[in-house]
Amino acid sequence: MAAIRSGWVAPLGPEVDAFETEMARRVGTRYALATSSGTAALHLALLAVGAGPGTVVVVPTLTFAATANAVVYTGAEPVFVDCEPATGNIDVPLLADLLDRLSATGRRVAAVVPVDMFGVCADYDALLPVCAAAGVPVVEDAAEALGATRRGRSAGAFGRAGVLSFNGNKVMTTSGGGMLLSDDGELVARCRYLATQARQPVLHYEHTDIGYNYRLSNLLAALGRAQLHRLDSMLSRRRALRERYTKLFAAVPGVRLLGDGDPTGNCWLTTIVVDPDRTGWTAARLGAHLNARDIEARPVWKPMHLQPVYRAADALLNGTAEHLFDNGLTLPSGSALGADQVDRVTTAIEEFLG
Ligand SMILES: *Cc1c(COP(=O)(O)O)cnc(C)c1O
């Protein structure tokens, strides 16, 4: 309300500056740039590390399409790599193998973009040294992972740049928005310039680069600040819901929770992985049972190497992403679910299991 009453409706204004400062403090980076979406922040970060025509960017095949699309926007080519079964995060030994192969064939790798799948940080202890040894910068896609940590460091703070999303389906929202995070002041300044139509600092409109209209508006930043204030309570609601599901499935042989055993995740989405040989039923059957009761449940992301639009892309695979796509099911996980709604979901699952 203060943002509206102040007259600072759009585009930039004091709420944007404050939101950037507060988010940088929360994640533990020196700088932050609020953007119109997470995808826009990914695009800017990739441009800033040199992705462009003639380069390739390594992306996990198990992700939302925006990770790969941002690579294509720069003119670079995405190369997909498979994931590990426990978390669905990028398989680091396979990544090391891929970086060796790419360098052996003379491909210039502009970046590796690990995704913190469903809110669990990738294995940065292993990943960062592999990328450093190959001389390749890391752009962390932490769109799903705000609030997650690994060894006390926050999701979004691991790479040369990190990216958050405040889309409506993420742990907090600005109705639509994103954030680029980095300790590199020059990189952030470059992205800020590109995101603001690449306008030169003169009175007349002077342009020496192609820019973008990628900044977050003052009103939406105000919404983001209010959401950030509530973030921890929203995260604990998601965690409580995760605990309900954990108890519910603990007694069901052949069902595991993706990324479970990692208490440092943000519980963005609770996903079960079903072994139909042991359960006698498939993830798709439970999904259909819930959908028939007007309860949303979906497969995990369809891997990028299976997407018609990325049919021609290179990929180094081990079968895990396809296995998770075939056997995973994401369950209602939102922090706005009321106690009666959660009861309705768990009752429907119990009915199915019974
Ligand atoms: C949501 C999401 C994005 C895109 O964020 P937007 O703010 O919707 O543009 C990118 N990557 C991943 C992994 C996501 O889940």
| Span 286-318, pLDDT tens digits | 999 999 999 999 999 999 999 999 999 999 999
Nearest CA to ligand 1 atom 8: 167
Counting atoms of ligand 1 from 1, which one is nearest the CA of 166?
A: 7
- Please identify, among 229, 262, 295, the residue that sits at the C-terminal boundary of a domain: 229
Residue 62 half-sphere exposure toward CB, CA atoms < 13 A: 26
Give me ligand 1 centre to Cα 6, in Å: 31
DSSP, collapsed to helix, strand or coil, labels residue 151 as coil
What's the confidence (pLDDT) of residue 13? 87
Shared domain for 44 and 131, answered yes or no, is yes
Check which CATH number belongs to the domain holding 128 and give it.
Answer: 3.40.640.10
Shared domain for 185 and 90, answered yes or no, is yes
Counting atoms of ligand 1 from 1, which one is nearest the CA of 39?
A: 9
Counting atoms of ligand 1 from 1, which one is nearest the CA of 169?
A: 1
Shared domain for 193 and 313, answered yes or no, is no
Q: How many domains does the chain have?
A: 2
H-type helices in the chain, by residue range? Answer: 2-5, 14-27, 38-48, 65-74, 92-104, 124-134, 185-195, 218-250, 276-279, 283-292, 320-327, 339-353
Ligand 1 pocket (Cβ < 6 Å) reads 37-39, 63-64, 66-67, 115, 141, 143-144, 165, 167, 178
What's the confidence (pLDDT) of residue 104? 97
What's the confidence (pLDDT) of residue 7? 83
Domain of 241 in residue numbering reads as: 232-353
The helix (H) or strand (E) run that includes residue 31 is strand 31-35
- Please identify, among 171, 198, 229, the residue that sits at the C-terminal boundary of a domain: 229
What's the confidence (pLDDT) of residue 133? 98
Shared domain for 74 and 206, answered yes or no, is yes
- Please identify, among 229, 260, 279, the residue that sits at the C-terminal boundary of a domain: 229
Give me ligand 1 centre to Cα 3, in Å: 26
| Residue ranges of the chain with per-residue pLDDT less than 70 | 261
**Average pLDDT of the chain to the nearest whole number:** 96
Shared domain for 38 and 174, answered yes or no, is yes
What's the confidence (pLDDT) of residue 261? 67
Shared domain for 92 and 198, answered yes or no, is yes
Nearest CA to ligand 1 atom 5: 38
What's the confidence (pLDDT) of residue 256? 96
Shared domain for 146 and 168, answered yes or no, is yes
Shared domain for 95 and 143, answered yes or no, is yes
Shared domain for 186 and 241, answered yes or no, is no
